[in-house]
Amino acid sequence: MKSGTIIRYCLIGSLICSLFFHIGIAQFHDEFDQPTIDEWRFFTGDGNATIDFVQSNGYATIIVDATRDKRNIWWALIQRTVSDDLDLNILQNPDHELRIEALIRVSHAPRRVNLHAHTQKTTDFHTHLMEFDIPDTVHWHTISMTTENFDAETGDIVNAQLALMDWGLGKYSVDVDYFKVYVVDVNNAEPDKGEQVLYPPPRLSPEMFTNKVPVSQNGMIDLAYPDVNYKDWYAADMSGKIPVLTVSETQFVILRWDLESFKGKSVSGPGLLELTTHSLQRAETDIHEFGKIRVVEILEGDSAWERDSITLNSLLQDQPIDRVFNTQMVVDAEVSETPASTTRITIPRPVLQRMVDGKTKGLAIRPLGAINAVFYAKEHINGNKCAVLYLHTKDIN
């Protein structure tokens, strides 16, 4: 063999080793191009949604039908045992972790999915889980999650999964071009891919933020009375009539902010929505996710609505309600019960970015189960207890 050829082979070998060292070896890799996908499990929970997982055209598709569901707290997932394809001994080295990666396309957007890894020893199923915000239905998106202190050793059963949850009461799908699980050296691995959203959301406080933005318009809409304006909605107490906003079985609170000063900037990290409680009525119950409030994005409709004239029908502008309001929540939250106390809700970075960019028109608060949650309106005492948004921004380079 000539010396030049030897050198070329050495260089190629060095490159291959370098790639394995930096990105890890794809020890489990399914491109969904085999005759069957029998080893995959798929199932749903917390509702009446159904799931199917089918393969065609070189990729697989998760198909969810939630049309018979009632409360939209369902979840659906695909799962595969991958431990037989992994060298779990490597994970005993603290510098090595598990990485899950998938290439996906969604039927509805914006929507979130999550990746998750666990073993038969796992008791906290919120660990080693990451959500991803998928902004469109047109493009394929690569998402990946790297574990932190993943506890697995030879003989353990390692499962990896992709899930969608609370997307709405319709029919939905996620195409999966490939799914792989491999071990990486965290000191040399490339960054994870995709718009990550921490779950559970991190706890934040107003003191952490540089920007505090009081709500510019707040109002109410009513599913039972779609042509009624609630500008004079109030709560009566010994001091008189207090302007308030109520979330109830048929009533939503809608909020929008003037974010013009942030146009062209990048939101850095999650933000915070702060609401001040006037009063709260709800039941003590063991029903899962019952009696919370659900924060959702307003995606379409009248973006310049005013409190004095807004109704459900004027907001919708003849569009379907599940197109105007994102049917997947931003977050579900417990309401602080004490009068004049604050409820602080973490808002993910991509939602805030859409608000700054004008793609999301504002936020709506709707009930999740039976609840009457009453918050102070902007019109009360110069707005000193109104809804407030906290966020960080930076200039785009």
- The model's pLDDT over 27-85, given as tens digits with 9 standing for 90+, comes to 999 999 988 888 999 999 999 999 999 998 899 999 999 999 999 999 999 999 999 99
What are the b/e assignments for 181-191, b being 16+ CB within 10 Å? bbbbbeeebee
Give 237: exposed, middle or buried? Use CB within 10 Å, 0-12, 13-18, 19+: exposed
CATH number for the domain formed by residue range(s) 206-395 = 2.60.120
How many residues are recorded in the chain?
397
DSSP track, 212-261: EEE-SEEEEEESS-TT---TT-EEEETTEEEEEEEE-SSEEEEEE---GG
pLDDT tens digits, residue range 324-346?
999 999 999 999 999 999 999 99
CATH number for the domain formed by residue range(s) 24-197 = 2.60.120.200
**β-bridge pairing 75-81 and 50-56:** unpaired
Same fold, 24-197 and 206-395: yes
Give, for 11, the enclosing helix (H) or strand (E).
Answer: helix 3-23
Judge whether residue 26 has pLDDT over 70: no
Any idea which residue has 């510019």 for tokens? 216
For residue 9, what are its two tokens? 């082979």
Spans of all domains in the chain: 24-197, 206-395
Of 291, 313, 267, give the one whose Cα is nearest residue 370. 291
Taking the complete model, does pTM exceed 0.85, yes or no?
yes
pLDDT (mean) for 241-254: 97
Of 2, 386, 9, 3, give the one whose Cα is nearest residue 218. 386
Cα 45 from Cα 27, distance rounded (Å): 30
